[in-house]
Structure 1
């Protein structure tokens, strides 16, 4: 790729990626419980009260609703990650082996990335041992270049990230452009302009010569990046609930500030000898006493009036806001009063919003996982036509009711189907093998008992026959 063509691509696509990165970083910040309440400037009203001895509190207490809802979806969908069946047992085992031990962890990370950035990305490649490798890539680094037809085919990927030169300590921006045949690498020193500072970056080593070049040719036949959209609208999970979270944080933090600031007593002054109320408040806080003057005919003193903070109103706002957060965010509110001896159908209803959101994510993720499995099969030389994906959910269940349903289904559906639904069974195949072993042992014991009884009967018959002969 020519240097000028790369500059044109960067000028065209990088500016539009800024808003995407901002939204992703904002969602990641909320995921880490670093909401706007922690960084917002003090309001004008608070500035006016800054010198007031009774208005000094500035508590900023965030609530990690976004992190809770995102983790709910990730755990609900990927505690038991999807299983793949490509039509032959050996091929399915190879796919499982290539996915590796980090498959579940990568699925969790992919789901969190998609929830925060609106899309997650997987990159796959071949290492020096010609082994298939894959990993989750930070979504903020990826700028997709798609076709303009209805299919929106991925034509290329521009990956942008920063790297520190170990020799000089300078920070460089690295540009990788991937298409269906090769990858080109460029870099620009931070602070330099694109026009004058972009150069080829020789980072790939040629095996035969040991030289480093800026181009790496792969043999995958497609762009080795796979998108995993969060939903059908390509939006993150923060968009619908951010205003509600900000309201909750503001009301809750304001309530705590009021508890710290406002005295529960209003002082009524008569014959106060000070000059103004500020002096009165300062003396009261500093010395715990005040001075009153007694003139003729006056009745000096200090009396108090009790006041109450409107707790009921604040509680109503907080409760309504919390409910709206879980409704808008399509999550499951883990309130203790929502549980109890609930039936299986009641528990399913409580997960209905989360299931609806998970269903939209699953529909998008199925396409991405199908592409990943086909890429593995091509690399391993396995024939792959139809891919059957089995998805599971992890949620609170009524195990007693589920076990009773399995018991009542004996003789109606197959043993394998019953074992899949039984709450005590983790691996259906292992359970079937164990049942075969136990059935075989039971038959052997039955044969041993039958043989023992048969031998005793033969001995008894022999004795009887001999007595009859006599």
Structure 2
């Protein structure tokens, strides 16, 4: 931050001034929101989000490819799911294992365990996928029907945020729009609903394409976020938390779309060549039939053909040259994984790589996930604020001064044999429990089974000592 930035007015104040100025010039808040909706749907960021989602679902531009209108020519359209594989690879690497949520206060830890349950962890994985596909994702905080805190992922392209600052770290207000199917006069129709969330509550509208109409069914507007035991509740912060893929909020698809499109085109062209160029060409001399259709019919049906005098038939073998295309596909595949910062698991040398080689091959994936984790850590701090506020509202305690650490347990690929050897060589240097915890086969159940095994061994030892002492006593008694 520059020194002059310390004396600048906050960004949201400029935003509020802009809105007030627009209203002062004759525009209403509704008209401002309509303009923001139109601008957003025409923006490159909106289109990029739709593209990221489309390519993840393996619906790519190659589908629109058209060839010359010649009946016999093939128009094969091959789609390759590189985007889905790279996104799932990053999510699986960073978010597939449950994170460790560490805090010193045991009571607080139990509350956090209840909040960050399996449902939340599943939502967090989906947030990761959304952020990579679209540059950023949004987590909405609310209370469920039972009065417990809950979290919901909103589709990124349906959210228009108004940021408090130029770094996009906190949201001042936001628009959320979505489609809803209704029946009007027994006719099925789709309407677009719009919610404007701000510091004083929520306003509800229906967008007809030109203007916003108050939504009578939703209640026009409310001065609260939720109801708790019949009492209105309004968060002190806007309950929407952004989770970014990177600082630039740039989706993965922008780095690899052109490469995937080229790969799809090259593969489809290669398939067309193989499909259109016959591998066997028939050479006929003095054929006795009327046309080539009759020739092929006789050949398939009778395995024989009629020839005129001095007639002959022969074949010409055709071998289309596709080596150059195959090399281009191989180069394209490597480029996609390089700039997509992932790991090509079809690499034949990957399975036999040593621990050092594996770490090198996963370095790009690890680097990208480091950036993703940094962004998620900042967002999770905002989640903790809402959780602490929830615990205060429920009168479960004030833990706002307690420190919480989210530790992401990555699904790291390792060479098990090397790790096991290292563990064996560490005996006498490290304590047994530390060695066990670093063993690739170690789980919490191992510790439990070891405890049971130790108890059995102690019981056997105690029984042996008791039996031995008893027999010794009997012998001594007889001697006396």
More displaced, 117-126 or 164-173? 164-173
Distance 1:170 1:446 in 2: 79
Using a 3 Å threshold, how does the CA distance of structure 1 residues 369 and 283 change in structure 2: closer, same or farther?
farther
Conserved? CA contact 2:202–2:221, under 8 Å:
no
The answer to whether the aligner puts 1:356 opposite 2:367 as a matched pair is: yes
Q: TM-score, normalised by structure 2?
A: 0.80
What is the TM-score with the length of structure 1 in the denominator? 0.82
**Of 396, 401, 424, the match for 2:441:** 424
Q: Answer with 384-393 or 262-271: which moved more.
A: 262-271
Task: Give the one of 339, 355, 365 matched to 2:376.
Answer: 365
> Residue 34 of structure 2 corresponds to which residue in structure 1?
10
* Structure 1 counterpart of 2:138, from 95, 108, 121: 121
> Is contact 2:206-2:213 (8 Å) kept?
yes
Of 313, 318, 321, the residue aligned with 2:332 is 321
Moved more, 316-325 or 282-291: 282-291
Q: Give the gaps of 5 or more residues in structure 2.
A: 1-18, 226-232, 393-397
Are the aligned partners of 1:77 and 1:393 in contact in 2 as well (CA < 8 Å)?
Answer: yes
Q: 1:150 to 1:398 in 2, by over 3 A?
A: closer
The answer to whether the 8 A contact 1:80-1:104 is kept is no
SS at match of 2:46: helix
- Residues 60-89 of structure 1: CA deviation (Å, up to 9, x unaligned): 111111111111111111110322113222
Shift of 1:224: 0.6
Deviation at 1:395, TM superposition (A): 4.1
Residue 312 of structure 1 and its aligned partner are, at CA, apart by: 1.5
Query: Which secondary structure does the structure 2 equivalent of 1:241 belong to?
Result: helix
SS in 1 for 2:39: coil
Per-residue CA deviation, residues 425-456 of structure 1 (Å, 9 max, x unaligned), is 233xx544544444344334323322322232
- Indicate yes or no: 2:399 matched with 1:383: yes
Larger deviation, residues 232-241 vs 150-159: 150-159
CA distance in 1, matches of 2:168, 2:353: 45
Change (3 A) 1:438 1:300: closer
Aligned partners of 1:268, 1:436: CA distance in 2, in Å?
82
Contact 2:223 2:234 in 1 (8 A): no
Distance across 2 between alignment mates of 1:193 and 1:352: 50
Structure 2 match to 1:142: 159
> Which residue of 1 is the match for residue 52 of structure 2?
27
| Partner deviation per Cα, 1:242-298 (whole Å, 9 max, x = no partner) | 11111111111111111121123567899999xxxxx9988877887999999xxxx
Structure 1 residue 439 corresponds to structure 2 residue 454: yes
SS at match of 2:224: strand
1:242 alignment partner in structure 2: 257
Partner of 1:187: helix, strand, or coil? strand
CA deviation profile, 1:329-357 (whole Å, cap 9, x unmatched)? 11110115123333222222221111111
Match of 2:81 in 1: 64
Q: How does 1:47-446 map to 2 (within 5 A)?
A: 47=69, 50-51=70-71, 53=72, 56-150=73-167, 152-166=169-183, 168=185, 169-189=188-208, 192-194=209-211, 197-203=212-218, 214-217=222-225, 218-264=233-279, 306-335=317-346, 337-381=348-392, 382-384=398-400, 385-427=402-444, 431-446=446-461
2:118 partner SS: coil
CA offsets 1:387-420 (integer angstroms, 9 cap, x no match): 2121111144322322332333344445554343
Check the 8 A contact 1:79/1:104 in 2, yes or no: no
Contact 1:181 1:220 in 2 (8 A): no
SS at 2:177's partner residue? strand
What 5-or-longer segments of structure 1 have no aligned partner?
205-211, 274-278
| Number of aligned positions between the proteins | 436
Q: Aligned-residue CA RMSD in angstroms?
A: 3.3
* Contact residue 97 and residue 411 of structure 2 kept, 8 A: yes
Is the partner of 1:425 in helix, strand or coil? coil
SS at match of 1:338: coil
